[in-house]
Structure 1
Amino acid sequence: MTSALKLIPILVTSFCCFAKGAGQPNLILIFTDDQGYEDVGCFGSKKIKTPHLDQLAAEGIKFTSFYAQPICGPSRAAVMTGCYPMRVAERDNFKNIHPILHEREVTVAEVLKEVGYTTGCIGKWDLAGHSQTHFNPELMPPHQGFDFFFGTPTSNDSYVDLYRDEELVERKAPMDTLTQRYTEEAVGFIQRSAAAEKPFFLYVPHTMPHTRLAASEEFRGQSERGLYGDVIREIDASVGRIVATLKELELQENTYLLFTSDNGPWLNKNKNYADGSLVKDRGGSAGLFRSGKVSTWEGGVRVPAILWAPGRVPAGRSCEAIATTMDLMPTFAKLAGGKVPSDRVIDGEDITPLFEGKFAEANPNKAYYYYLLSHLQAVRQGPWKLHLPRPQHPEWLGRHRKSAHIHPRDDIGFPEPVLYHLIDDPSETKNVAAANPEVVARLLELAEQARNDIGDHNRVGKNMRFYEPAEPRPTQLKTRFVAPKQNH
């Protein structure tokens, strides 16, 4: 490892005398890749030990109805913009499997920079092109609101190139060093921000446990869940290292840390598409939730989420209210004293009451729309989830029309709406549509409102964003959507 990548010395804590005072809190988002709902001890894992995450949950809030998107690129778009990926603008008005975020979109980093934050992104970006070599440099983090970037353009499907800001520093970096190096860079960023006495926003989108899996020598062979468990244990240790740094610098009482995942587990890496439980399984587990990544079953989008902020967040609480990664932009803006853009629709909402343990103040009418790429497939409100009618293999989903990621029994269509009560039936096994026609009607109306506003595979939503004109083309994945004239 080069000297430039080594951990810088611990800074004198006197630099951090501002930390305990009132004012703008530091904000940290740790975002893992393909980690399933049950791949954390406090969320039910029996074979993977995560003592640091479990401790954060004991000292903070565990969110049990926290939603991301079903695929990694769209999930990152939702985090950065506070919006459904279907709504956000992309280059040339395309809807790509992994969004190429238009430069006129406003990121959470840009919102926070406006109110004086130092911003850092360390890890996987995946919003400038889903390739290690063919991506748009002008859409990478240094041009999307981040003062500092260390990481990689996209996933580690075959190899990983590492960049520091805009400079390529290493081609085909050893994957078993990534989690460790991201951690060292995160610690260094925290230390520098503390020395500068400025509030900071740190975004750590880990490469792991997206395959190809790799863990450093210290963690290999340490988990009874094989290499996958080793990788999760190393991520857990990384969280512990970041928290220890916050405590060393006396920043813990002025910092919010949120840990979550970008989507459900990659089940086709497991024997028979089952939840990961065997030593040789290379994917995770959604636990009692059905299916996994690249699906709109609960296992594909409901993810573990832990919020930690000593002195600000009540300890040992569990929140069942619906919350999403899209809520982070408006919530972080509120905590920082900033404002979300007022010239566009933002789908996320301020959930600071939930951060304060005021769960009774959760929005009772909050809805979550389950998009698989450009296709609206389901909607949830309260305990009710309605799967919308659709063919088994929708042709408009392109190469994802027939899923290679989930068990064939879950790769199905619905000739009629199918309703589940997620409190009574979290595994989505009992259709109760016939007994609840008024609920079905209400959720169908919500779905129609979403189609009109956000869009669907065959419909341009009135508040989809377009910043470039385009000639009419079929409205399906990887082809251009027609931009309404008033938005040209």
Structure 2
Amino acid sequence: MLRALLQRNWGLIPCGLLVFLIFGFSQGMAAEGKQPNVILLLTDDQGYGDVGFHGNAQIRTPHMDELARQGMELTRFYCSPVCAPTRASLMTGRYYYRSGVVHTSRGGAKMYGEETTLAELLQGAGYATGIFGKWHLGDNYPMRPQDQGFAESLVHRSGGIGQAPDKPNSYFDPWLWKNGQREQGKGYCTDLFFDAALEFMDRQAQAGKPFFVYLPTNAPHTPLEIADSYWKPYQEQGLDETTARVYGMVENLDENLGRLMAHLDQTKLKENTILIFLGDNGPQQKRYTAGLRGRKSWVYEGGIRVPFVATWPGHIPAGTQSAQIAAHIDLLPTLLDMTGTPKPKSLKLDGIDLTGLLTGKVKTLPERKLFFQVHRGLTPQRYQNCAVVTQRYKLVGYPGTFGEENLMRDAEPVLELYDLTSDPGEMKNLISTQPDIAAGLRKDYERWFADVKQSRNFQPGLIVINSGKENPTTLCRYQDGTFMQGTSEGWMVQVETPGRYEVEIQRGADTKPGKLTVNWQGKRSHEFLSADQASARFELQSGTGMLDIWFQEEGADRVYPGDNSTRGDVILKRLD
């Protein structure tokens, strides 16, 4: 977190004074005076082909198309091929492996609380900060949005509405978390997130305060829930129901973007607002991809190349494009520059500032390489589902192995090489005809992998049990448990507030008496529960390590729940 970063650099000076000293002068203002507002709209599983301005004649996205006419499109903008890794890179300007995020669930989507986020930096520069939608970087202290720089939040938990621990739930009248408190919304989730964002913007504008609005929608991610009026017309055009539902969800998104754009016009905020729209990865299902190969979870272009448009009237020229390669890691340094927010000297970033490119002052970026890799499991393996992208070439390693936790190794890794300038569809593998280029990119990848491993050794972020910050604490087994070979071994936690806790477990289908067991810091203790009981009291000492809690029916072996359900989830409530 920003506070920790500042204190590491300037010792005993109070953090509040440091923020004033750093951000309180002219450095905290944009170059031309008034700090611009920032809106970052990130959609979920909307691929490169899921917009009209990329040649999709079936989908209706008039407002996204208009946005592209009003600003600059980066036609080769890249993200990670799945959700949480992209979000970690957007928030930190760093490759996600450095942040504690390893993949999307089963213990792998927890960003360390001490990571410095874009929200924290802009908040320190005087911005009002709000998130409305999908966070997916940790549901517990110190990883929640409110711990990471967002003064206001309306989010769902986990990776999606209806996933553990928020079961049952729906895109209609969803249960959401507003500033840490659970409440039920009335309406469709995307509409609710935009409603809250617009209301937040109005409040800040009336107070004369610049705002940072992060709008990471969960649409069009599964489950594909949308009103019939949106998807039925696509089905009537001959599209299959899955594609029709996705396109209906995107059309609803487009309508909300239109509402946002009209609101900026009506409130006269448009001229001083940076609006960025992008997707987080490729499409989950098979559909139009504008000729790109692959989709979500793949490191082919269809999995990592996403729509990207940026607008800022008077600064970003309208109706322009650039084919320079850029990525999620670049947004933090770019927005810091555009808002006049200084970067702490010790903050190490992987991204670069794109301001010159977006404003048209430069046409070509320095030669660079971008790196991508994702997989299931908490132990990254070299070359697994990886890619190195340059302005011309791309090296791909073990494509399509996202879900393989025990990748079999050959004497030499399976590698492919493509010339993206002449072959954007990645149809012609040049690995045998361009061995020198492949060898150079392979060395670059190996250096990168060793470097990101050195950051945290691929260890996911820690849940901190601190009753002053979060009480009770919900431990979701599927999302946050430490999974090894498909089995949850418990949760990696740090207990900061020792004492007596009420431990409640979701028993699921267990209907017989049995015992509730807590294994912590080398000490195993248990309490017997009757058929209708689900909780008991235990003492938890301070410490860091694996906290394992389970219920075992009398006379039965222990069951290790591994599915996306709430069975085995635990609620810890400190009583002292």
| Alignment-derived partner of residue 153 in structure 2 | 149
| Alignment-derived partner of residue 282 in structure 1 | none
Q: Looking at secondary structure, tell me which structure has more strand per residue.
A: 2
> Offset of 1:308 from its aligned partner?
1.4
The answer on 1:179 being equivalent to 2:190 is yes
Q: How does 1:198-217 map to 2 (within 5 A)?
A: 198-216=209-227
Identity across the alignment (%): 33
> Offset of 1:181 from its aligned partner?
0.9
> Offset of 1:417 from its aligned partner?
2.9
> Offset of 1:193 from its aligned partner?
1.2
| Alignment-derived partner of residue 435 in structure 1 | 433
| Alignment-derived partner of residue 4 in structure 1 | none
Q: How does 1:221-370 map to 2 (within 5 A)?
A: 221-223=232-234, 224=237, 225=239, 226-267=244-285, 274-275=286-287, 285-364=288-367, 366-370=368-372
> Offset of 1:142 from its aligned partner?
1.2
Tell me, yes or no, if the aligned pair for 1:27 and 1:202 is still in contact at 8 Å. Answer: yes
| SS in structure 1 at match of 2:357 | helix
Q: Distance in 1 between matches of 2:48 and 2:403?
A: 30
The answer on 1:82 being equivalent to 2:112 is no
| SS in structure 1 at match of 2:42 | strand
The amino acid across from 1:244 in the alignment is A
Q: Distance in 2 between matches of 1:334 and 1:323?
A: 16
> Offset of 1:327 from its aligned partner?
0.7
> Offset of 1:414 from its aligned partner?
8.2
Q: Distance in 2 between matches of 1:394 and 1:237?
A: 34
* Equivalent position to 1:397, from 375, 396, 405: 405
| Alignment-derived partner of residue 163 in structure 1 | 177
The answer on 1:106 being equivalent to 2:104 is no
Q: Distance in 2 between matches of 1:240 and 1:391?
A: 38
Q: Distance in 1 between matches of 2:424 and 2:411?
A: 19
* Equivalent position to 1:421, from 414, 419, 422: 419
Tell me, yes or no, if the aligned pair for 1:66 and 1:324 is still in contact at 8 Å. Answer: yes
Tell me, yes or no, if the aligned pair for 2:109 and 2:460 is still in contact at 8 Å. Answer: no
Tell me, yes or no, if the aligned pair for 1:329 and 1:340 is still in contact at 8 Å. Answer: no
> Offset of 1:475 from its aligned partner?
11
Q: Distance in 2 between matches of 1:62 and 1:392?
A: 29
What TM-score, normalized by structure 1, do the two folds share?
0.78
Q: Distance in 1 between matches of 2:120 and 2:431?
A: 44
- Larger RCO (alpha carbons 8 Å, 6+ apart): 1
> Offset of 1:83 from its aligned partner?
1.2
Q: 1:233 to 1:423 in 2, by over 3 A?
A: same
Q: Distance in 2 between matches of 1:444 and 1:233?
A: 41
Q: Distance in 1 between matches of 2:334 and 2:126?
A: 16
Q: 1:182 to 1:475 in 2, by over 3 A?
A: closer
Q: 1:252 to 1:98 in 2, by over 3 A?
A: farther
Q: Distance in 1 between matches of 2:411 and 2:429?
A: 14
> Offset of 1:62 from its aligned partner?
1.1
Which range moved further: 245-254 or 224-233?
224-233
Q: 1:28 to 1:394 in 2, by over 3 A?
A: closer
Tell me, yes or no, if the aligned pair for 2:38 and 2:275 is still in contact at 8 Å. Answer: yes
Tell me, yes or no, if the aligned pair for 2:84 and 2:109 is still in contact at 8 Å. Answer: yes
Unaligned runs of 5+ residues in structure 2 are 1-28, 164-168, 463-481, 493-576
1:392-424 alpha-carbon deviations (Å, 9 max, x no partner): 7589736xx69xxxxxxxxx9985432101121
The amino acid across from 2:405 in the alignment is L
Q: Distance in 1 between matches of 2:52 and 2:118?
A: 30
Q: Distance in 2 between matches of 1:300 and 1:189?
A: 33
| Alignment-derived partner of residue 12 in structure 1 | none
| SS in structure 2 at match of 1:139 | coil
The amino acid across from 1:78 in the alignment is S
Tell me, yes or no, if the aligned pair for 1:68 and 1:325 is still in contact at 8 Å. Answer: yes
| Alignment-derived partner of residue 119 in structure 1 | 129
What TM-score, normalized by structure 2, do the two folds share?
0.66
| Alignment-derived partner of residue 140 in structure 1 | 144
1:206-247 alpha-carbon deviations (Å, 9 max, x no partner): 011001122346635344452221111110111111111111
Q: 1:200 to 1:395 in 2, by over 3 A?
A: closer
> Offset of 1:433 from its aligned partner?
2.4
| Alignment-derived partner of residue 387 in structure 1 | 396
Q: 1:339 to 1:97 in 2, by over 3 A?
A: farther
Q: 1:96 to 1:348 in 2, by over 3 A?
A: farther
1:358-414 alpha-carbon deviations (Å, 9 max, x no partner): 4524122x21111114355221111100123x497589736xx69xxxxxxxxx998
Q: Could you say which structure has the larger radius of gyration? A: 2
Q: 1:393 to 1:75 in 2, by over 3 A?
A: closer
The answer on 1:450 being equivalent to 2:448 is yes
Q: Distance in 1 between matches of 2:402 and 2:76?
A: 28
Q: Distance in 2 between matches of 1:46 and 1:186?
A: 30
| SS in structure 1 at match of 2:39 | strand
| SS in structure 1 at match of 2:97 | coil
Q: Distance in 2 between matches of 1:424 and 1:98?
A: 37
Tell me, yes or no, if the aligned pair for 2:388 and 2:445 is still in contact at 8 Å. Answer: yes
Q: Distance in 1 between matches of 2:291 and 2:358?
A: 26
Q: Distance in 1 between matches of 2:350 and 2:47?
A: 24
1:115-171 alpha-carbon deviations (Å, 9 max, x no partner): 11110100011111xxxxxx415422111100111121131245353011111112x
Unaligned runs of 5+ residues in structure 1 are 1-17, 129-134, 268-273, 276-284, 403-411, 482-488
Tell me, yes or no, if the aligned pair for 1:98 and 1:126 is still in contact at 8 Å. Answer: no
Tell me, yes or no, if the aligned pair for 1:61 and 1:307 is still in contact at 8 Å. Answer: yes
The amino acid across from 2:134 in the alignment is K
| Alignment-derived partner of residue 378 in structure 1 | 387
The amino acid across from 1:423 in the alignment is T
Q: Distance in 2 between matches of 1:69 and 1:436?
A: 26
Tell me, yes or no, if the aligned pair for 2:110 and 2:460 is still in contact at 8 Å. Answer: no
